[in-house]
């Protein structure tokens, strides 16, 4: 089965991010295809490399980055939601005259068309969070 995953909530503030990660990992381990994980609304905060949880806590952005590296997973952060929340890659940094970027490894910034495309290509679009 082909899945697309939509994450609407940020790490550490809602169970949705952890649940989306666990679902995606399990689907991949069972041999399913995950076409794309799209991070929208506060979910874009899963894609910042500046997250620094306590040592005894899970590092959610790093988990996503590692999963993407292991499975060549496409992690897409919504550009409009990212701009509102200060999640910036090198291109957006230059385009908006910012002095830094903070996108985590394995994530990329793009538009809502990526979510639509994934929904069309997938057998199921699974949403986590409101």
List the catalytic residues: 78
Structure tokens at 91: 């291109």
Q: How far is CA 60 from the centre of its chain?
A: 10
Q: How far is CA 85 from the centre of its chain?
A: 14
> Rounded to an integer, what distance in angstroms lies between the CA atom of residue 40 and that of residue 122?
18
Give the CA-trace dihedral at 93, 43, 52, 75, to 10 degrees: -70
């Amino acid at each position: 089965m082909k899945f697309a995953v939509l994450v609407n909530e940020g790490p550490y503030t809602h169970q949705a991010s952890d649940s989306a990660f666990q679902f995606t990992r399990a689907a991949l381990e069972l041999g399913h295809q995950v076409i794309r994980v799209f991070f929208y609304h506060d979910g874009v905060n899963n894609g910042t490399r500046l997250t620094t949880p306590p040592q005894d806590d899970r590092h959610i952005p790093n988990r996503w980055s590692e999963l993407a590296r292991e499975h060549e997973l496409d992690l897409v952060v919504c550009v409009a939601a990212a701009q509102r929340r200060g999640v910036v890659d090198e291109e957006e940094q230059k385009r908006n005259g910012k002095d830094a970027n903070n996108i985590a490894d394995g994530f990329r910034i793009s538009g809502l068309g990526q979510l639509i495309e994934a929904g069309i290509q997938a057998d199921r679009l699974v949403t986590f969070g409101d």
